[in-house]
Chain A
Amino acid sequence: MRAESSLNVSDASFAYVEPVVRQVALNVSPGSCVGLLGANGAGKTTLLKLLAGLLSPDSGTVRYGDQNVADLAAGDRARLIGYLPQRIPRATGFAVHEIVLMGLYSLLPARHWEGRSEWLAVARALRRIDSLHLLRRSFAELSGGEQRRVLLARALVGDPSLLLLDEPLAALDPGFVLDFTATLGELRDQGVSLVISSHRLSFVRALADSVVVLRRGEFIAQGDPGQILDDELLNAAYGTERFGAAAPTRESAR
């Protein structure tokens, strides 16, 4: 199943207590990749949760095709959307393969014992992110980076047509980042839509067709990363004046 519909956000706002996302509009067409940039607390995670249907907007809409994402049946939504949470769950006692299997939850009947086809899907997803060797390990005993890889495999295992990745690169080593960038590029070329929040500018530049820059819940810029990501915008987004200035040295950092 590949995305044939666009994900469309129009005028969406959300507040926990204070407003976190304010009147944003966004379109993710099939097979495109949108990068979300913004300082800590800018609203990236909340926006992704709105896209994933984990939160419903207070006003405005998040639609997939002609349906409100929040109104989709939970199972339909899960089959459509792969979501990588930023926060790694405390999953004491589960083995890696059991965690990845959870990614198939909505595709299987309520009472189900995994069989050959599920094992193959799990192995394929883990191999795709170069982590098949972790298969039998205990999830809780992995390093932070390894845990995130496993969660990536879980997001991929059900072949979703829309992948929402919240800080997928946190704690990942640079070698893996390069491999993973290539893997995501392949998925995008196969027609999977991607929305990725990240603080790694080079990763976003390499992958995203368009970027959205968030500040305090509002979009301050939106467009082709090659064209709009200049020092001025980055300084505004991250509340600094250091982009474009001389790189900090050992002396200046002291």
Chain B
Amino acid sequence: MNALATARQRRARVLAAAGALLGVGFVLGPTIGATDLDLAAVWAAPFAWDENPAAAIFFMARLPRVLLAAIVGASLALAGATYQSLLRNPLASPYTLGITAGASLMTFLVIRFVPAGGLAEFTVPAAALVGALLTTLLVMALATRRGGTPPAVLLLAGVTLNFTIGAAVLLVQYFADYTATARMVRWMMGDLEGATYRLLAIQLVASAPAWMVLLRRGRMFNLMSLGLDEAQAHGVDAARETRTGLLWASWLTGVAVAVAGPVGFVGILVPHAVRLLGGVDYRVVLPGALVGGAGFLVLCDLLSRWLLRPVELPVGILTACLGGPFFLILLLRREVGRG
């Protein structure tokens, strides 16, 4: 089926499906939640937030949260697809390279040593971003050989660093008091609480350039996914593109994790679903992951607010609950298909 459609047609198909998903999320997201909302009441006085609690919930609590979910989901999925091409591994994610671990460590250090309140609104996200970027630089430095950065070595360096940083994370957690530990555990679960329009603006300004940089690299990522020599022989400066791609993907991861915590599986699950629908061409996978990731996380966030209402589940728990079974099904289907 896929082989007969051109890549362009497949991209159109994938974008239509992902766009529909995002559309549904945008419509349902702000309307459904822990409390029932009367839309007529919202629109009766949409901007009189002080007098109209319905409008306040809709515009101040839910809408920014939905938009934040979209931006975070888009970034995580696009970054995931990037890692998968550059590492030549369909299961690669920010976790694989220890980048989320690095973000966690820096965040935990801040939670442990910087008093809560006051500047914490900025210090925690900044720490996560710095942690993500420092880890990326460290992984690349560890894996660079004679000017090249072979994917296998990158993967090995990342996994090793992941374990090492994981140990440091445990140490910091152990020596933190109960309040701090609780904040750490909560952060690890990944959450979209506390979205504001100012935060949204910062997110968008920080993420959009990276989206642009990565989206135009589809043809190049196709070659990179075949191997360094393959890419190099066809005119890709593989060493430079590996650095560029990893840094921008890690920037996106860092920016997303800074506000949402390490929401797992979005970066693996969404590109995979896009490939099932539209094939492996990165000119399809990248835009598909961007829009699909946005739609996916908006809907996950919606479910996490709605499933156990009035209790709101951290969205990271939900994505993790979906991610495991998704791959189990893929695995079993493939095994059955082979037998």
> B-contacting residues of A (Cβ < 8 Å)?
49, 52-54, 74-79, 81, 83, 85, 89-95, 98, 102-103, 105-106, 108, 110-114, 136-138
Q: Are B237 and A105 in contact (CB under 8 A)?
A: no
Q: Are A138 and B3 in contact (CB under 8 A)?
A: yes
Which residue of A is nearest B229, CB measured? A54
> Do A77 and B235 contact each other (CB < 8 Å), given the known contacts A93-B280, A113-B7, A113-B8?
yes
Which residue of A is nearest B280, CB measured? A93
Q: Are A98 and B281 in contact (CB under 8 A)?
A: yes
CB distance from A165 to the nearest CB of B (A): 12
Determine the distance from Cα of A79 to Cα of B235 in the docked complex, in whole angstroms. 8
Q: Are A83 and B7 in contact (CB under 8 A)?
A: no
Q: Are B280 and A78 in contact (CB under 8 A)?
A: no
> Do A85 and B229 contact each other (CB < 8 Å), given the known contacts A105-B223, A111-B218?
yes
Q: Are B279 and A85 in contact (CB under 8 A)?
A: no
Determine the distance from Cα of A79 to Cα of B234 in the docked complex, in whole angstroms. 8
**Per-residue contact bits, chain B 195-223, to A (CB 8 Å; 1 contact, 0 not):** 00000000000000000000011111011
Determine the distance from Cα of A76 to Cα of B280 in the docked complex, in whole angstroms. 27
Q: Are B281 and A78 in contact (CB under 8 A)?
A: no
Residues of A within 8 A of B275 (CB): 93
**Per-residue contact bits, chain B 3-24, to A (CB 8 Å; 1 contact, 0 not):** 1101110000000000000000
CB distance from B227 to the nearest CB of A (A): 5
Residues of A within 8 A of B280 (CB): 92-94
CB distance from B298 to the nearest CB of A (A): 27
Interface membership of B226, Cβ < 8 A? yes
CB distance from A45 to the nearest CB of B (A): 10
Interface membership of B142, Cβ < 8 A? no
Residues of A within 8 A of B336 (CB): none
Interface membership of B233, Cβ < 8 A? yes
Q: Are B235 and A78 in contact (CB under 8 A)?
A: yes
| Total contacting residues, chain B, CB less than 8 A | 27
Which residue of B is nearest A109, CB measured? B219
Residues of A within 8 A of B281 (CB): 94, 98
Which residue of B is nearest A89, CB measured? B226
Determine the distance from Cα of A126 to Cα of B65 in the docked complex, in whole angstroms. 52
Q: Are A74 and B7 in contact (CB under 8 A)?
A: no
Determine the distance from Cα of A137 to Cα of B217 in the docked complex, in whole angstroms. 25
CB distance from B248 to the nearest CB of A (A): 15
Q: Are B234 and A89 in contact (CB under 8 A)?
A: no
Determine the distance from Cα of A90 to Cα of B225 in the docked complex, in whole angstroms. 9
Determine the distance from Cα of A113 to Cα of B281 in the docked complex, in whole angstroms. 11
> Do A49 and B229 contact each other (CB < 8 Å), given the known contacts A102-B223, A105-B219, A138-B3?
yes
Which residue of A is nearest B227, CB measured? A89
Which residue of A is nearest B222, CB measured? A102
Which residue of A is nearest B279, CB measured? A93
Determine the distance from Cα of A110 to Cα of B279 in the docked complex, in whole angstroms. 20
**Per-residue contact bits, chain B 281-306, to A (CB 8 Å; 1 contact, 0 not):** 10100000000000000000000000
Contact of B233 among A83, A93, A110 (CB under 8 A): A83
Q: Are B230 and A85 in contact (CB under 8 A)?
A: yes
Residues of B within 8 A of A114 (CB): 6-7
Determine the distance from Cα of A90 to Cα of B229 in the docked complex, in whole angstroms. 13
Determine the distance from Cα of A88 to Cα of B232 in the docked complex, in whole angstroms. 15
Residues of B within 8 A of A137 (CB): 3
Q: Are B218 and A91 in contact (CB under 8 A)?
A: no
CB distance from B231 to the nearest CB of A (A): 9
User: Which among B6, B233, B234, B235 has the greatest number of chain A C-beta atoms within 10 A?
Assistant: B233
Q: Are B233 and A52 in contact (CB under 8 A)?
A: yes
Known: A89-B230, A93-B280, A112-B219; 14 extra A-B contacts, CB below 8 A, are A53-B232, A54-B233, A78-B233, A78-B234, A83-B233, A93-B275, A95-B3, A98-B222, A106-B235, A110-B216, A111-B216, A113-B8, A114-B7, A136-B3
Q: Are A106 and B234 in contact (CB under 8 A)?
A: yes
List 25 A-B pairs, Cβ < 8 Å: A52-B233, A53-B232, A54-B229, A54-B233, A78-B234, A83-B233, A85-B229, A89-B226, A91-B226, A93-B275, A93-B279, A98-B7, A98-B222, A103-B234, A105-B235, A105-B236, A106-B234, A110-B216, A111-B216, A112-B219, A113-B6, A113-B283, A114-B7, A137-B3, A138-B3
CB distance from A185 to the nearest CB of B (A): 24
Q: Are B227 and A136 in contact (CB under 8 A)?
A: no
Q: Are B234 and A111 in contact (CB under 8 A)?
A: no
Residues of B within 8 A of A138 (CB): 3
Residues of A within 8 A of B235 (CB): 74-79, 105-106
Determine the distance from Cα of A171 to Cα of B11 in the docked complex, in whole angstroms. 36
CB distance from B304 to the nearest CB of A (A): 32
Determine the distance from Cα of A49 to Cα of B146 in the docked complex, in whole angstroms. 15
Which residue of A is nearest B147, CB measured? A56
Determine the distance from Cα of A163 to Cα of B279 in the docked complex, in whole angstroms. 31
**Per-residue contact bits, chain B 246-284, to A (CB 8 Å; 1 contact, 0 not):** 000000000000000000000000000001000111010
Residues of A within 8 A of B283 (CB): 111, 113
CB distance from A137 to the nearest CB of B (A): 8
Which residue of A is nearest B275, CB measured? A93
Q: Are A136 and B236 in contact (CB under 8 A)?
A: no
CB distance from B282 to the nearest CB of A (A): 11
Residues of A within 8 A of B4 (CB): 136
Determine the distance from Cα of A83 to Cα of B234 in the docked complex, in whole angstroms. 8
